[in-house]
Amino acid sequence: MQIHTEGVHSKETCSQAASAIRDALYVIGGKWKLPILMTLASGPQRFRELQKMLETITPKVLSKELKELELNEFIKRTVHPTTPVTVEYSLTHYSTSLQKVLIELRDWGFAHRQRLRASLRASKSEQVLEEK
């Protein structure tokens, strides 16, 4: 991996970097935390809206993830005094520190999906050629 220019080169620095990544994953790891934060980037959302946008998440898991994100100061839970009360979740200022991580993961995710599609197309056209 060409990250020598970034100051990562020896076993020791790579080991420290791996440890920093483990620290990061300890708070933002798992299947849902980063997708939830990205979903909230368009503005405050209610529980049901989030659930709908995240498609396959269960209410139990979403509730647990939101609590952990609130505890770690990435999101804020606001109760509006309507009848019945309205609860909204929004990003905190601290969550903006994750902006670059989210953008890089998003870009990589898009590129990876395209790569998979291209390789699928390639194997399909090979099949067609074999069948001819």
Q: List residues near a second copy by CB under 8 A.
A: 1-3, 6, 8-11, 13-15, 17-25, 27, 29-31, 34-43, 53-54, 91, 95-113
Nearer to a second copy by Cβ, of 68 and 83: the residue is 68
CB of 13 to a second copy, least distance (A): 7
Residue 50 to residues 11, 36, 40, 54, 85: CA-CA distances in angstroms?
42, 8, 8, 6, 17
Long-range contacts, 57-66 (Cβ 8 Å, 24+): 57/32, 61/32, 62/32, 62/36, 65/30, 65/32, 65/33, 65/36, 66/36
Nearer to a second copy by Cβ, of 8 and 128: the residue is 8
Nearer to a second copy by Cβ, of 23 and 126: the residue is 23
Which residue in 46, 50, 28, 48 sits closest to 97, CA to CA? Answer: 28
Nearer to a second copy by Cβ, of 35 and 130: the residue is 35
CB of 121 to a second copy, least distance (A): 17
CB of 58 to a second copy, least distance (A): 15
CB of 79 to a second copy, least distance (A): 22
Under a CB-based contact definition with an 8 Å cutoff, are residues 74 and 98 in contact?
A: yes
